[in-house]
Structure 1
Amino acid sequence: MIKQFLAVSGLVVALTACSNQPTAVNAEQLFETLSGQWSVTDIAGEPVASYSKPRITFEQDGQLSGNNSCNRFSGRYEYQQTQLTLQSLGSTRKACVDGLVKQERMFMDSLPKVSQYQFAKTKLYLLDAQGQVLFELNKSQ
């Protein structure tokens, strides 16, 4: 009986560890995990151009900065439990290659809509208030 219990428990742990389901983390884990540079792989379900991937850097002091494919941007972020708010967003306004104009616009239009986050393994998902994924990101090395 104990062997069966241990076998079932081990199986549950193994299956849970292999899950790709996004999960929320506590504030301390978020602070440690979120800090650093992230590469955007998808914006609103659309893959970004491989030759000019946007990047977002979350600083430990609440500052936010990065590149939206064409221009630099900055602002602030705040988090509480599963909520993430991006504020005071500003951007430079340099000319952009035609192929990246749409991507830059989608990026900047989506940033202020972020209100939640989820982690799944090495990915970070930034979501809107309805739980729709706005950004999929990978931690940069």
Structure 2
Amino acid sequence: MRLIHGLPLIVALAGCSQTPVTPAGGARTIVPTVPTVTSQVEVFNHLPKDFDRSAWLFAQLETVPAIRSAKVAPARLELNDGQMSGYTGCNGVFGSYQRENTRIQFTGAGISRRFCTELADQEKRMLDVLSRTRFGMIAKANGYLLLLDENKAILAELLPMPPKDN
């Protein structure tokens, strides 16, 4: 008896769904059933003066949170006047970068050769992000460094590391 009471609701909901539209040319256009969302992040139009001597912790790589645990040192990126170094959580990373205003490109990235099964995906994402980065911008809301691709889509978010005591 419960199924019969639920049947009118199912029929009513089925009437609300949208079906694909097929134009005369035969191409199929799918009409979304929910609105799409575009996020925007306010950024500064310049990088700070000390950017070329800064250090950052990866918070997120390609929408995946960076691995944090007591057993693993966090993934990080250090910039020093055109030289880049860092740590994937397993291996050291090194290379160089060129920067003009907010345009930035990492080149010649090398990596040490330890194999860490649990960090292999993160390491691959980090190297991919570095190779695809074309812009670096600072988010106004939290001071994070955003690494962006050519279309200014966010590839990674990094938290500023406190300066080292000398």
Please classify the TM superposition score into its range, dividing by the shorter chain length.
0.7 to 0.9
Contact between 1:43 and 1:106, CA under 8 Å: does it hold in 2? yes
Q: Percent identity?
A: 26
Unaligned runs of 5+ in 1: 1-19
Alpha-carbon offset, residue 82 of structure 1: 2.2
Higher relative contact order (Cα pairs below 8 Å, separated by 6+ residues): 1
2:63 is the alignment partner of 1:42: no
Q: Which structure features the higher share of helix residues?
A: 1
Give 2:138's aligned amino acid.
F
Q: Secondary structure at the match of 1:100?
A: helix
Cα distance in 2, alignment partners of residues 71 and 117 from structure 1? 23
**Structure 2 residues without counterparts, runs of 5 or longer:** 1-40
Q: CA RMSD in A?
A: 1.5
Q: Secondary structure at the match of 1:21?
A: coil
- Counterpart residue number, 2:3: none
| C-alpha deviation, 1:108, in angstroms | 1.1
Greater strand fraction, Structure 1 or Structure 2:
1
Select the residue among 96, 101, 107 that pairs with 2:126: 107
- Residue type at the aligned position of 1:129: E
Asked whether the equivalents of residues 66 and 122 of structure 2 are also in contact (C-alpha less than 8 Å), the reply is yes
SS of 1:111's equivalent?
helix
Residue 58 of structure 2 aligns with an amino acid whose one-letter code is: V
* Letter in structure 1 aligned against 2:113: R
What is the total number of aligned residue pairs between the two structures?
Answer: 117
| Higher gyration radius (CA) | 2
Question: Is contact 1:24–1:117 with CA below 8 Å preserved after alignment?
Answer: no
1:106 and 1:80 map into 2 onto residues whose CA distance is: 25
Cα displacement (A) at 1:73: 0.7
Aligned to 2:110: 90
Kindly report structure 1 stretches of 4+ aligned residues shifted beyond 2 Å: none
Q: CA deviation at 1:31?
A: 4.2
SS of alignment partner, residue 95 of structure 1: coil
- Secondary structure at the aligned position of 2:51 is classed as helix
**Helix, strand or coil at the partner of 1:108:** helix
